[in-house]
Structure 1
Amino acid sequence: MIMENSSSITVIIAGKNFAPVCDYLKNVLPEISLEMVEAKDLIKKAEEAQIIFPAMARIDEKIFKRAPSLRLVQQWGTGLEGIDIGSATRYRVAVANVPTAGSGNAESVAEWYVMAALCLSRKTCEIRSQVRKGYPWGSPLGQALYGRTAGIIGFGGIGKALALLLKTFNMKILVVDKKPDKITAQNIGVDWIGEVADLLHLLKKTEYLFICIPLTAETKNMISQPELALLPKGAFILNAARGSVINQQALMQAMDSKHLGGVALDVYWEEPPKPNDPILDYPNILATPHIAGVTDVSYQGISIQVKENIIRVMKGKLPLNCANPEVRLKDMK
């Protein structure tokens, strides 16, 4: 037995997406009661839950006041923008996430960015049908990553892992971050690092723009029409952070004007996007279903840290990487 009375722990995953989470949770905590619940049924099901994983669902006061046994809202990853942390604290519920660094998640997301950059550069969206048709053969001309300039917004776990990979392509790497880590940047071989206030300098020189920052009030619509206009014509944008860091209308206008060479999206302004979302109609958009961090290595690493947090809160301790460390946990019944 992994922990005393673990069979009495009721865990809910709020939504039917990210199905592999169930397998990895059951592997590290086989005796828990685990259920994936549609968002519309969450309020009722939350009444018995002790642990909730948001899985893109909104977790707010409507949930907390109906969940007397709830002790922890644990994100399977980093993003906490969908959780009302203030309400969680008032209802004595801890909120925690898993940092990208140290879990394998940062490396997996960085791999997605490289994959996406290569797909856009080699016009994979355009050429998929050519092999079956047999023509045109030997075209189109792709663009090499080698020697190009990459701009990375955000230098946390993902930004650092990405910079390491991009250096193997001999890319020139420019970075902006809220708190520039100049020592790590130098060790990796970053060519220039500045503060967020220096973003305009980065954009003017960037051929591949990688968005690696969380969504906050400060970063919402950070990339809009003025910022997009500063990018060199033909630049590529890649986003596996959160959709709303980029202004959607401004992005579509930049695509309509052919200012951008292409865009890779793993995140959207609404998830999942509607089938008729016009952003999906562009031939040079690479779209994936929020899977940048969905790998065996990432999920194994996250599951180990999640297990530790579940054990901690069920023993009356705060979880690791707690977003509301001031919270007074509910008494054990």
Structure 2
Amino acid sequence: MYIRRSIVLWNLASSLQRGGEGTYIRRSIVLWNLASSLTKLSGLHTDGFSSADILSKVKSMVGNSDTHLTRVLFCGPHFPASHNYTREYLQKYPFVQVDDVPLDDVPNVIEKYHMCVVKTMKLDSNVLSRATQMKLVMQYGVGVEGIDINAATKYGIKVARIPGDVTGNAASCAEMAIYLMMGLLRKQVFILGFGNIGIDLAKRLRAFGVKVIATKRSWGSYSQDSCQTNVHGDLVDEKGGHEDIHKFASNADIIVCCLSLNRQTAGIVNKTFISSMRKGALLVNIARGGLLDYEAVLNHLKSGHLGGLGIDVAWTEPFDPDDPILKFKNVIITPHVAGVTEHSYRFMAKVVGDVSLQLHAGASLTGIEFVN
């Protein structure tokens, strides 16, 4: 009885398969799984076909496509253009499956996926331990602070981000920083963290005739060629290291945070840092909310020492609209949209799509920056 049902399902799978490799292939896989379940329930042999024979035929008919799918997981519903654009880019490649899953469901399904785009998800050791098929965890952008990189390395999972200098992300973040500064632009700007965003910001600030000072942990990777313009020359008037941040803060009218968030930089803009700033100086954060010590910012706004705050990122997101910091008239906040442009999201979708195709083919992964 069950064998006959399996044969019916196999025939139906055959019909669906003839419809093409795209939409119907996954239905065939489902039917094959159903056939598998039914035949396992029966030890009967009919017309010379054992249950194993039927499974073999069904498996052959659908081309064993299930085992050759590369599954890409997007975590959570936020920034829907990320997974929608990636699906659009990969629509001609039915062997790459792109799913977006609610954040609470990720731990329960992550074992099924080979590649994960975290977005706002926090992937700790517990979640990563369940990702038994995972090859790559990456960010739809540059921030990987939500990923336990040590745990990923332990489980043999590569972690990567998309370089902001090629997607337009750094440029749009730099423009957002200028937007936040426009109302009270002064004469000297301190760029705390001179990476891709810092470089693009300095290029744009030159048009305002300001003096640019900047710090970077290591200027060994600083290319004079990449930071030169034919009109303005060197983009940075004074360069310093981490040990110079308080001195530079005391000399700047505006400080712009462009650092990556990690153990070394978390809370770097603290009470000591803000106290070293000029009274009335402005603070702009275009990177990550965790770079700023919340209590230090709030207290210095209350005292009037901090002249103004412009942030595109917050300590928790979404940020509480009733938070005391938002009561100050000299505070401007935007909802983490600096890097959200049509251009950057289309480009990042292409990067994610290309990487998933490389992963499927077993080729070297290019176009991303590994952090482990």
TM-score range, shorter chain: 0.7 to 0.9
* 2:76 pairs with 1:15: yes
SS of residue in 2 equivalent to 1:33: strand
The one-letter amino acid of 1:10's match is R
The equivalent residue for 2:344 is 298
Residue 218 of structure 1 and its aligned partner are, at CA, apart by: 1.2
The one-letter amino acid of 1:41's match is D
* 2:202 pairs with 1:163: yes
Residue 242 of structure 1 and its aligned partner are, at CA, apart by: 1.0
How many angstroms apart in 2 are the aligned matches of 1:104 and 1:87? 31
Choose the corresponding residue for 2:270, options 193, 208, 224. 224
**Native 8 Å contact 2:82 2:345 kept in 1:** yes
The one-letter amino acid of 1:152's match is I
- Greater shift, 63-72 or 223-232, is seen at 63-72
**Native 8 Å contact 2:251 2:277 kept in 1:** yes
**Native 8 Å contact 1:150 1:174 kept in 2:** yes
**Native 8 Å contact 1:94 1:318 kept in 2:** no
The one-letter amino acid of 2:209's match is N
Show the 5 A alignment for 1:104-123: 104-118=168-182, 121=183
How high is the TM-score relative to the length of structure 1? 0.83
- Greater shift, 266-275 or 147-156, is seen at 266-275
The equivalent residue for 1:129 is none
The equivalent residue for 1:132 is none
* 2:213 pairs with 1:174: yes
How many angstroms apart in 2 are the aligned matches of 1:209 and 1:103? 25
The equivalent residue for 1:152 is 191
How many angstroms apart in 1 are the aligned matches of 2:194 and 2:84? 31
**Native 8 Å contact 1:211 1:241 kept in 2:** yes
**Native 8 Å contact 1:152 1:212 kept in 2:** yes
How many angstroms apart in 2 are the aligned matches of 1:182 and 1:232? 31
Residue 315 of structure 1 and its aligned partner are, at CA, apart by: 2.6
The one-letter amino acid of 2:371's match is A
The one-letter amino acid of 1:16's match is P
Question: Looking at both structures, which has the greater relative contact order when contacts are Cα pairs under 8 Å and sequence separation is at least 6?
Answer: 1
The equivalent residue for 1:37 is 101
The equivalent residue for 2:167 is 103
The equivalent residue for 1:61 is 125
Residue 303 of structure 1 and its aligned partner are, at CA, apart by: 2.2
Question: Aligned in 2, Cα 1:260/1:34: closer, same or farther, shift over 3 Å?
Answer: same
- Greater shift, 92-101 or 165-174, is seen at 92-101
Identity %: 30
Larger Rg: 2
Higher helix share: 2
**Native 8 Å contact 2:83 2:349 kept in 1:** no
User: Number of paired residues?
Assistant: 298
Q: Which 4+ residue blocks in structure 1 deviate beyond 6 angstroms?
A: none
The equivalent residue for 1:93 is 157
How many angstroms apart in 2 are the aligned matches of 1:115 and 1:159? 15
How many angstroms apart in 2 are the aligned matches of 1:13 and 1:282? 37
- Greater shift, 9-18 or 315-324, is seen at 315-324
Listed one character per residue, the Cα deviations across residues 108-164 of structure 1 (whole Å, up to 9, x for unaligned) are 11111111112xx2xxxxxxxxxxxxxxxxxxxxx4x3x611110111111000000
SS of residue in 2 equivalent to 1:101: helix
**Structure 2: stretches of 5+ with no match in the other structure:** 1-20, 22-64
How many angstroms apart in 2 are the aligned matches of 1:233 and 1:89? 45
The equivalent residue for 1:47 is 111
The equivalent residue for 1:126 is none
* 2:361 pairs with 1:315: yes
SS of residue in 1 equivalent to 2:307: strand
How many angstroms apart in 1 are the aligned matches of 2:100 and 2:318? 17
RMSD: 2.3
The equivalent residue for 2:140 is 76
